[in-house]
Structure 1
C-alpha cells in the first residue's frame, strides 16, 4: 500500500505522514517548497502537478490524501475584509489544487484502484451556516461538491472518494483553543480512510465517523 499526502509539512498533513510511516506504510508527503524528504509540489500550479506525476513515474497510489489547504480569511470583517486576492488564493489551493492533483495522478490511482480522501471541513455544510469565514466556507463547500462529483465519475473505475472533516484541531490553522489534538484527528481520519470503499464513496464524514449533512 502506497500513500501520498499533499500539504504534509505541518499540521494534520505532517501528523498523517508520521502516522503512516510509524506503521511502516510507504508514504510520501508534498510541500510547496523543498523541505527534508518531502516532495516539492505547488497544488495551485498545473505545471507542478504534471511534474509530480512524472516524478512518481507510474507508481500505483493506493490512497491519495488531498490535504493542502489555507484559511486565509480568518477574522476578516464583512464591511472591509475579504479582498479578491484572498478569494483567489483560497480557491486556487482548496479547490483547484484538489482537482489538479487528482487529474494529474489518475493513472497512478487507476493502477492501484486506489482511494481519494479530500480534507474539507464541517464548515462546508450548507446545513450549518452560522455566518462569517465566507471564503473558507465557500471554498470547502466547493471541495465537497468536487469530491461528490468525482465519486460519481470514478466509481465505475473502482476508485472511491471520501470527503472528511478533520475536527477542530490544535494546529497552526486551528489555534491553541481547538478541541482535539493532531493525534486524535489522525487516529480517526486513518480509520475513516481504511473504511472507505465503493459502498460509501461520496461520503461526507467527521474524523469520528459522524455523517455531516450536506
Structure 2
C-alpha cells in the first residue's frame, strides 16, 4: 500500500511512519524545511504553502492508497483569556490545522482517484467536539472543530469517487504536545490508528473515531 504521512518528524507522525514501513507499506513521510531527515522516503512539505503542496504532488504522481493528514500545531496551550490568543496565533493555527489539510487533499486528489479506493485519514481531536467544551485552548479547539467539519464534508463530496474520509482522535498521547502525564504511549496510539485506517471504507466514510475504535460524538 502506498501511503503519505504529513508532519512526520516526531510524535504520532513519526511512529506511524515506522509502524507502517515495518509492515511493508511504501511510506512517504514529510517534514517542513530544515526538519526532514535524509533518505529516499522523506520529502519536504509546508502544508501552509500551496506551492509547496503542489510541488510535492508533482514529484509523487503515482496512485496513493492512503493520505494521512497528521501535521498540526497547538500553540495556545496555557494562554489566558484576558491577554492571550493573539490574532496571528489564530491565523497560524488555522493555516496548519485546517487549510493545510484542505490544500494537501486537493493537491493529491488525482493520485487518490487513481488508486481506485483511496482513503484520507485526518488526525483530529476530541477537543474539537461540541461535547468537550470546558473552556480554554480556544484556538486549538476551534481549529479541530473546523477540521472535523471539513472531514465530514470531504467525505460527502468524495464518496462518488470511491474515496473514503475518516477523522480520528489519537488519544491523549505521551508526546511533546500531550506531555508526560498523558494516558497512552505513542506506540499504542499509532497501532490503534493504523487499525482504524485499515477499516476505513465507503461504508464508514465520514466517521469520527477514537484511536481504539470507539465512535466519538461530534
Asked if TM exceeds 0.5, the reply is yes
1:182 lines up with 2:182 in the alignment: no
Aligned to 1:31: 31
Distance 1:82 1:18 in 2: 35
**How far has the Cα of 1:193 moved from its partner?**
0.4
The structure 1 residue matched to 2:124, chosen from 97, 120, 127, is 120
Aligned twin of 1:64: 67
The runs of 5 or more residues in structure 1 that have no matched partner are none
Q: Deviations over 1:25-81 (max 9, x none)?
A: 11010000232232100000000011011110x211100000000000001000000
Residue aligning to 2:54: 50
Matches within 5 A, 1:100-179: 100-112=103-115, 113-179=117-183
**CA deviation after TM superposition for structure 1 residue 144, in Å:** 0.3
Output the TM-score relative to the length of structure 2.
0.96
Corresponding residue number in structure 2 for 1:98: 101
Match status 1:9 vs 2:24: no
TM-score (norm 1): 0.98
1:201 equivalent in alignment to 2:197: no
Superposed CA deviations along residues 165-196 of structure 1, whole A, max 9, x for unmatched, are: 00010011111111100100011100000001
The worse-fitting range, judged by mean Cα deviation, of 26-35 and 140-149 is: 26-35
Q: Where in structure 2 are there 5+ consecutive unaligned residues? A: none
Answer with 30-39 or 69-78: which moved more.
30-39
Aligned partner of 1:79 among 60, 77, 82: 82
Residue by residue over 1:99-158, the C-alpha shift from the partner in whole angstroms, topping out at 9 and shown as x without a partner, is: 000000000000002100000000010111111100000000100000000000000110
Structure 2: distance between partners of 1:136 and 1:116: 21
Name the SS of the counterpart of 1:163 in structure 2.
strand
